[in-house]
Structures are given as structure tokens and as C-alpha cells.
Structure 1
């Protein structure tokens, strides 16, 4: 597991509470680590360039790979073929709380490392005034 440095990522209070109370079972270790180390802000104070739940983000695989548009969502809403990626997946955990320009890193199920750069936050619920999604 790649570690998270305190202050490296920012979550909304609502995302933090909802993820901590997730009822389908234990959290993936990397997500639990993120919840333990992330900075937490009220939803109304989250910067518009931070990846929150249901944010549509454009990412670029590194080094110099293709760009993708994805949405970080809860497992029940995940549809990887349409770009809806579960926050419980390595990609979702790697991106949640990152800001535009940051490089997200994670381990693949096969044990390899992967990284992607956050090119742009295309839509963030909080930036549009939605503080409850």
C-alpha cells in the first residue's frame, strides 16, 4: 500500500462521515488510511479543484498516457465502462481528495504501481452548490 502524508489530501466532512459509516463491510486498508490522514473541511469551504465524491475529473495516465474522464462514486453506483469508478477501488482511493495538478499513485491488484495526473476537475458537486450529494 502506498502511504498518504497528512495534509496531502482534503475531504469534505460529509464524504468523511459517509465513508466512515459505510455499512457494506470493512473499508479497504488504503481508504481507512486516507480517512485517518486527510484534512477535513466543511463542504461549503472545499476548494473547487479538489476531487470529492461524485466529482467528474479528467486524468492523464503517467508517463504521457491517454486521458480519461471519470467520476468517483460509491460502490453501488460504480460502472467502470461508463467512467463511474468506485471509491473503494485503487483508482478511486488514489484520486479522492487530490487537487488539480496532483499525481495520484496506487497499487494495482497484480501488485504493480500506477500513477495518473489530475488534469482538471470538470464538475464538483460542492462547487455547483450541492452540499448533500
Structure 2
């Protein structure tokens, strides 16, 4: 089996920022999904290990959190996408909703608009993703409604 691992260890990648309650939910999800998909569970554990936690009220609006809409560019292919980062039960790629429990979803959580990350895709190939913009959940929901 070809194991997916980030290019750099969690200790050498920059700090990310997460909402404390989301961190708890993501950790619980990773524990329940570990047997089914250990590679992505490991990626999520590494992200949690390097995260600084904030309350929902104090996290900056340009940080990717759960239910944020994220516009990013795949620097290698040049493709530009806008996706909403969601929990697995809400994932629907046709509606632009990507699960936190995918390699790309795990890579996006906690990122800041303007940052770039080298991250593995489902095949294990490294992708370079640049975050163009982040729309917080409240704003994203108001725009859709």
C-alpha cells in the first residue's frame, strides 16, 4: 500500500489555526475513521498537533474552518476551485462540498488566505495548493440563502 504522507513533518510545517470545538470533533472523527482510512486519519492527527486553538468568536475570518468556502489554486495544474469544507456526512462534490476526511480537506483546514501548502492527493502525488480567499460559514450561508 502506498502511504500518503505530507512533504514535511508536522513539526516543520507552519502553525495552523482551528476552532477548539471543531478540533475536538475532527479528533473524534479521525479516531472513528482510523481503521477505514488510516492515512487520512494520520494527516488529521498531524494537523491537530500543529494547531493553535481559538474560540469560534475569536478566530480570524480568513482562516479555513469547517463550513468555510475556500477558493484555491492548484499551482501545478493551474486549476482554480471553490469548495466548502464539511464533515463527511455533508460531503457532496457535485455541490462543491468536500469532506475534511479527504487528503485535500485535511490539508485545507486551518490555512490562511494567501498561504500555500504542498499536500498529497488521493494518489499520493504532491499538489501545491494556494489559498486565494476564505468565506466564513455565516457569510457563506447568507450568500447561499
| TM-score higher than 0.5 | yes
CA contact (8 A) 1:7 1:38 kept: no
Per-residue CA distance 1:24-50 (angstroms, 9 max, x = gap): 432610001111111111111100100
- The match for 1:9 among 16, 19, 33 is 16
1:74 CA drift (Å): 0.5
- Indicate how the Cα distance of structure 1 residues 61 and 25 shifts in structure 2: closer, same or farther if over 3 A, else same: closer
- Aligned residue for 2:104, secondary structure, equals helix
Q: Equivalent residue for 1:46?
A: 59
CA contact (8 A) 1:44 1:126 kept: no
Q: Choose which of 10, 33, 39 in structure 2 pairs with 1:25.
A: 33
Structure with the higher helix share, 1 or 2: 2
**TM-score (norm: length of structure 1):** 0.85
Residue ranges of structure 1 left out of the alignment (5+ in a row): 129-133
What TM-score, normalized to structure 2?
0.78
- Tell me, which stretches of 5 or more residues in structure 2 are unaligned? 35-39, 141-145
Distance in 1, matches of 2:139 and 2:94, equals 26
Residue in 1 that maps onto 2:71: 58
Task: Let me know the Cα RMSD of the aligned residues.
Answer: 2.0
1:41-97: CA deviations, max 9, x gaps?
A: 111110010000000011111046021110110011111222111101010011100
For residues 59 and 44 of structure 1, what CA distance do their matches in structure 2 show? Answer: 25
SS at match of 2:18: strand
**What secondary structure sits across from 1:28 in the alignment?**
helix
Instruction: Work out the number of aligned pairs and report it.
Output: 127
Task: Check conservation: 1:6, 1:39, Cα contact below 8 A.
Answer: no
Residue pair 1:107, 1:114 contacting (<8 A) in 2 also: yes
Runs of 4+ with deviation above 6 angstroms: none
Contact 2:69 / 2:137 at 8 angstroms: preserved in 1? no
